[in-house]
């Protein structure tokens, strides 16, 4: 949540300064607007949520309800990260105004803009960078990489780049091209969780005991 109302200046009479009152009012208005967005109702089935079999009997739901019953739940076989990402992008493709609370949107066929704080909140991730972008993060371990700033400026428009700071707002794409706007449910399932730990473990075994390594293969 924005903390812009925590450092309000007070006048000698104990009242909030006029300039800060405007800041506070803007903060409250934006907060109310975001609360209203959580109550927007969508149809997962009509939007094309995947896996299709999981949503074929679903009814229209509010974003708040989807957050509580689906997006915020721990990743599992029935709630894979790549499916959550695809479904979140389906929402903002049809309802661009919901980017504020969903946190991801397509910029072109392959590039995704990520507002990391809203997206982390949607997925109930408390350690934002660690949970999304670091080596063990969801994006990294599902084959997504960050777009270099020079490449971004060559590929995207100034309008698309206007709020990108590569700190709170990131640009990502799938390095193997398996996650694009044209992807199917089958190709999206190829973006599997990749555990990087076996590689250094095997390397250590090679050094320590060649026979043990052979037996593991």
pLDDT at 14 over 80: no
Please state the pTM of the whole predicted model. Answer: 0.76
| DSSP-assigned letters across all residues of 146-176 | EPPHHHHHHHS-HHHHTT--SSSEEEEEETT
- What does the pLDDT average to over 11-37? 55
Percent of the chain scored above 90 by pLDDT?
68
pLDDT value at residue 190: 83
| DSSP-assigned letters across all residues of 39-102 | T-EE-HHHHT-SSHHHHTT---EEHHHHIIIIITSPPBTTB-HHHHHHHHHHHHHH-GGGHHHH
Query: Measured over all CA atoms, what is the biggest interatomic distance in the chain, rounded to whole angstroms?
Result: 80
- What does the pLDDT average to over 136-148? 94
DSSP 16: B
End-to-end, the C-alpha distance of the chain in Å comes to 49
How does residue 146 score in pLDDT terms, banded at 50, 70 and 90?
very high
Per-residue tokens: 161: 């780049």
pLDDT value at residue 78: 85
Q: Which CATH architecture has domain 41-201?
A: Orthogonal Bundle (1.10)
Which residue ranges make up each domain of the chain?
41-201
Evaluate whether 5 touches 23 at the Cβ level (below 8 Å). yes
How does residue 152 score in pLDDT terms, banded at 50, 70 and 90?
very high
Nearest C-alpha neighbor of 101 from the set 121, 129, 126: 121
pLDDT value at residue 167: 95
List the single range of 22-26, 33-37, 101-105, 185-189 with lowest mean pLDDT: 22-26
pLDDT at 197 over 70: no
Residue with tokens 């392959």: 110
Whole-number Å distance between alpha carbons of 145 and 125: 19
């Amino acid at each position: 949540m924005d903390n812009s109302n925590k450092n309000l200046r007070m006048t000698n009479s104990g009242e909030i300064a006029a300039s800060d009152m405007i800041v506070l009012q803007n903060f409250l208005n934006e907060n109310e607007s975001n609360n209203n967005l959580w109550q927007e109702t969508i149809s997962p089935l009509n939007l094309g949520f995947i896996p299709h079999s999981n949503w074929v009997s679903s009814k229209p739901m509010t974003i708040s309800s989807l957050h509580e019953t689906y997006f915020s739940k721990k990743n599992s076989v029935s709630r894979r990260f790549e499916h959550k990402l695809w479904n979140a992008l389906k929402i903002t493709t049809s309802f661009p105004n919901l980017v504020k609370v969903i946190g991801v949107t397509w910029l072109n066929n392959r590039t995704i803009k990520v507002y990391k704080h809203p997206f982390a909140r949607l997925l109930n991730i408390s350690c934002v960078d660690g949970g999304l972008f670091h080596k063990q993060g969801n994006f990294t371990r599902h084959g997504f990489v960050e777009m270099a700033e020079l490449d971004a400026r060559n590929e995207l428009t100034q309008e698309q780049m206007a709020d990108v700071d590569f700190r709170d707002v990131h640009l990502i794409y799938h390095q193997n091209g398996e996650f694009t706007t044209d992807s199917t449910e089958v190709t999206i399932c190829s973006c599997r969780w990749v555990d990087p730990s076996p590689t250094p473990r095997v390397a250590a075994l090679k050094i320590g005991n060649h026979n043990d390594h052979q037996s593991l293969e």
